[in-house]
Structure 1
């Protein structure tokens, strides 16, 4: 009888312990925001269970690993920003009243966990003058965001022996004290689990090291889901692609989406992108995606922030109608269609990355998860997009290989073979960002168009125009 009571007590104690651990793992919390803009900037996409990093750990990493931060950060990034977290060193958008840069969400699931959302890659930083604070354009391409550098920093930290309770707990407690139970949970659960998850992700993304660097403002847009979500074998393809703008997506309904036309709807883009962050298609997944689609349908870019010559722009509007509108007006005959690579002549690598066989694998994954609105297809060329906020979309072409619109209107052989990308000061004359000179070299990433996937050829449209006509067309493009 005594042995039975002892066993019963042990079972009861184990049940209490498991319940406590479950409570620590899954205790939920809600987010609230003052506006839809704030929700886009900091709202959760629902990835906490799969990809969430406990906030006290995430906050501590730059402090604990300053050497690794310096090794993987963007050149010169964060030195003149108002940031204070360390993560601004990856060229991320920072607001002084927030705990983390734009694009990070903090939501409780057991503990407060950090995940990413759309705004991380889709917030544009720009300045008219090097001495002013950055301005941010919500929904624009994050041309300064060094996502590959951020990933490499996190992975290097997880490989470092300092990623341990002995080293991490004292650093965490410099921000806020922990009681004995919290110290115990971080020691036996959260720190080891976080390190393990980062090591697994490191292994999944090891193929990055065999391909040309993304550089700021880009990722390997379709090798990421191909290798990670569908578990396709690694191949030799290079899909480095600029982050696109998300402005006024309501104009894109019925058109092909992504650079290569891999999706047929905005809903498919949002659903598969959320899946790629670690969100699972359950609970409020569909409702959250519908909110995002509605928000992005109307989201507009900021107006061009400098003077525009109205007379010159009017002349440029006529030239746009004659030379560009077929592909780049919202109602153009070929807007939203994939232009074959043989016709447009731009670097083919992105198209080769995601073919019909890859789409078939991806569709099996989404079908298994019950995602009926997320069907993908193989890339068919490069999509001619309606031009919205074009003055803020530099560098240009799908791979960001042309620094300014002036360069894009030049014959390919006259375009810069090497330039700096990731510097946020506008070139209001040539329309783009400053891509040469001392300041750009200090803060920018050296972009070499001779590397695979970085080619700047093709898209000769407009290169035959006379110089005065090019100036007029550029002036008009400031108005879009």
Structure 2
């Protein structure tokens, strides 16, 4: 009996030690080191005023009720150092300028995309993470940083699913919130920092409010973990955007039966010229700018209520209150319309070989222009680029994102939508359905189209948007168009050199590898560094401490397709085999495509005649 007792005690001790180790690594994530660049260099894509407006204009996200001053007062779990210290947040991949100072728009001196807002009738300022956090990039070379406004972020933002490796901002934030609440000394310092002279009067209320926010974080972390909703680790610069928006809007807010496994992360796409595209999203499923931006805000954390306090579905003009800020979303959209593609900075990344780039221009016309140079028309003073949407069976890239969007179905009957009421919304489904919609089996794109229509209508009323203003805020008077194709769009390639890694899921680290057969592409590589390779046009992929290993053999991560190789066209083979010297020439041309140096290239036809 004594032996059994000792054995049980030993097991309990080992389990306790194991749990302690797990908790330590969950609360103390393994992050890459960070050191400041010698200088952050800004390209001539925007004015300084436009850049600041984009970086810090709020859009109505609330990050699960977390207040701005709370975030700034949080400490790390095992020290008194600030969680929101710029040099710590930079280790997750968020962008700071070492010379930046606190400003009225950024009083906490936080990274790009960390804003704040107040809801009408409330004194609380909420932490508001905006689209700039995910759609601003940076490259480093020889100690210099090159900021790519509207480019692809490389942070590790969304997941709060605990792992031993850690490295996710979401996981680390939950750990700091938990340690602050349950460690009385930490909470005492936190409360005095937040409340100042109001400490005695508001201490208890602060603790109650803080617990509500913490419980929301913990509930999401537990839900995502035990349901296994995100089995493909997203890593730097990726998220399963549609999957997360659907799980938040239809699972969290309506019914657990609507949760779906989201195993197809995608990269954050670059934003320049996006306002001219006829269809946006990787699969070309969305049309209206405002609806697209409302959907993005809902996915990042804008509040959304489908039901009243008694659990009954909201109806009529009561649909649907949210924290979305439509006038601020429109301001961001207008700012993006002035964004220029980045031009290759020769002084920082090296001189252009113009004769080689001229040869690359010919190869581009032969091999790339058919897909990546769209037909352009004019509509209401707006240039419209009609992008090609390539079926997954043709382009051959990982089909997960396109298939999930096309196949996943959700039961929205609890919302009690009236088909006649839906018909009054500014939603256009392509193709037009021939049968009534089945609300128990609605796709994510259609469901979000109607949700964003209701949310937009309510937000416009609350913002006192007049009927005359609305077409402009919607974006060129466009309807909320929806199409669901198992395809990916081929976007124009101006500035593509500044947007590694490549393909919709970020599975190819450089353009050189993208122009190569799949057999020559790296099956695994390291991500999470900003160090740039100006020869191959991609981030460097060598191993580094606490780097993220991207494995292309995992579901959602496949690096197949978009191949130039010998063989029959189709099923991922899109062109002939390009010899190495041809790939180098194409890379040299892609550095100048769409920029001021493109017009300076020599005309090879004239030189050949001579």
Q: Give the Cα–Cα distance (whole angstroms) in 2 for the partners of residues 152 and 369 of structure 1.
A: 30
Offset from partner CA, 1:106-145 (integer Å, 9 cap, x none): 334523321100111111121112x34x332221110244
Aligned-residue offset at 1:362: 2.1
Q: Give the Cα–Cα distance (whole angstroms) in 1 for the partners of residues 171 and 82 of structure 2.
A: 9
The reply to whether residue 287 of structure 1 matches residue 298 of structure 2 is: no
Q: Give the Cα–Cα distance (whole angstroms) in 2 for the partners of residues 400 and 412 of structure 1.
A: 14
- Of residues 98, 108, 116, the one that matches 1:106 is 116
Name the structure 2 match of 1:468.
581
The reply to whether residue 61 of structure 1 matches residue 77 of structure 2 is: no
Name the structure 2 match of 1:408.
514
2:58 aligns to what SS in structure 1? Answer: coil
The reply to whether residue 453 of structure 1 matches residue 556 of structure 2 is: yes
Aligned-residue offset at 1:69: 11
Q: Give the Cα–Cα distance (whole angstroms) in 2 for the partners of residues 301 and 139 of structure 1.
A: 8
Name the structure 1 match of 2:39.
none
Name the structure 2 match of 1:38.
52
Name the structure 2 match of 1:478.
591
- Of residues 369, 394, 419, the one that matches 1:343 is 394
The reply to whether residue 88 of structure 1 matches residue 90 of structure 2 is: yes
Residues 274, 234 of structure 1: alpha-carbon distance in 2 compared, 3 angstrom cutoff: closer
Name the structure 1 match of 2:29.
none
- 8 Å Cα contact 1:270/1:289 also seen in 2: yes
Bigger mean CA deviation after superposition, 137-146 or 345-354: 137-146
- Of residues 232, 237, 248, the one that matches 1:217 is 237
Aligned-residue offset at 1:243: 0.6
2:128 aligns to what SS in structure 1? Answer: strand
Residues 430, 238 of structure 1: alpha-carbon distance in 2 compared, 3 angstrom cutoff: same
Offset from partner CA, 1:224-254 (integer Å, 9 cap, x none): 01111122623345121001111122331x2
Equivalent residue runs for 1:379-458 within 5 Å: 379-436=485-542, 440-442=543-545, 444-458=547-561
Residues 301, 144 of structure 1: alpha-carbon distance in 2 compared, 3 angstrom cutoff: farther
Q: Give the Cα–Cα distance (whole angstroms) in 2 for the partners of residues 326 and 410 of structure 1.
A: 18
Q: Give the Cα–Cα distance (whole angstroms) in 2 for the partners of residues 66 and 377 of structure 1.
A: 50
- 8 Å Cα contact 2:77/2:180 also seen in 1: no
Aligned-residue offset at 1:360: 2.7
Name the structure 1 match of 2:444.
358
The reply to whether residue 318 of structure 1 matches residue 362 of structure 2 is: yes
TM-score, length-normalised on structure 2? 0.64
Equivalent residue runs for 1:114-125 within 5 Å: 114-125=127-138
Offset from partner CA, 1:424-445 (integer Å, 9 cap, x none): 1111111111112xxx422631
2:513 aligns to what SS in structure 1? Answer: helix
Q: Give the Cα–Cα distance (whole angstroms) in 1 for the partners of residues 334 and 228 of structure 2.
A: 34
Residues 467, 289 of structure 1: alpha-carbon distance in 2 compared, 3 angstrom cutoff: same
Residues 219, 446 of structure 1: alpha-carbon distance in 2 compared, 3 angstrom cutoff: same
Residues 185, 375 of structure 1: alpha-carbon distance in 2 compared, 3 angstrom cutoff: farther
> Rg larger in 1 or in 2?
2
1:238 aligns to what SS in structure 2? Answer: coil
- 8 Å Cα contact 2:229/2:260 also seen in 1: no
Residues 56, 288 of structure 1: alpha-carbon distance in 2 compared, 3 angstrom cutoff: closer
Aligned-residue offset at 1:66: 5.5
Q: Give the Cα–Cα distance (whole angstroms) in 2 for the partners of residues 146 and 284 of structure 1.
A: 20
TM-score, length-normalised on structure 1? 0.80
Residues 311, 391 of structure 1: alpha-carbon distance in 2 compared, 3 angstrom cutoff: same
- 8 Å Cα contact 1:51/1:277 also seen in 2: no
Question: Structure 1 regions of 5+ residues with no counterpart?
Answer: 1-32, 71-77
- 8 Å Cα contact 1:51/1:115 also seen in 2: no
The reply to whether residue 97 of structure 1 matches residue 116 of structure 2 is: no
Bigger mean CA deviation after superposition, 221-230 or 155-164: 155-164
Equivalent residue runs for 1:167-178 within 5 Å: 167-171=186-190, 173=192, 177-178=196-197
Aligned-residue offset at 1:350: 0.7
Q: Give the Cα–Cα distance (whole angstroms) in 1 for the partners of residues 224 and 177 of structure 2.
A: 14
- 8 Å Cα contact 1:204/1:228 also seen in 2: no
Aligned-residue offset at 1:194: 2.1
Offset from partner CA, 1:398-427 (integer Å, 9 cap, x none): 000001111011101111000011211111
Name the structure 1 match of 2:285.
262
Offset from partner CA, 1:163-184 (integer Å, 9 cap, x none): 4665323145458834235642
- 8 Å Cα contact 2:139/2:530 also seen in 1: yes
1:441 aligns to what SS in structure 2? Answer: coil
Q: Give the Cα–Cα distance (whole angstroms) in 2 for the partners of residues 418 and 425 of structure 1.
A: 18
Residues 240, 441 of structure 1: alpha-carbon distance in 2 compared, 3 angstrom cutoff: same
- 8 Å Cα contact 1:128/1:425 also seen in 2: yes
2:545 aligns to what SS in structure 1? Answer: helix
Name the structure 2 match of 1:250.
275
The reply to whether residue 302 of structure 1 matches residue 315 of structure 2 is: no
Output the aligned Cα RMSD: 3.1
The reply to whether residue 179 of structure 1 matches residue 198 of structure 2 is: yes
Q: Give the Cα–Cα distance (whole angstroms) in 2 for the partners of residues 473 and 89 of structure 1.
A: 34
Name the structure 1 match of 2:263.
238
Aligned-residue offset at 1:45: 0.6
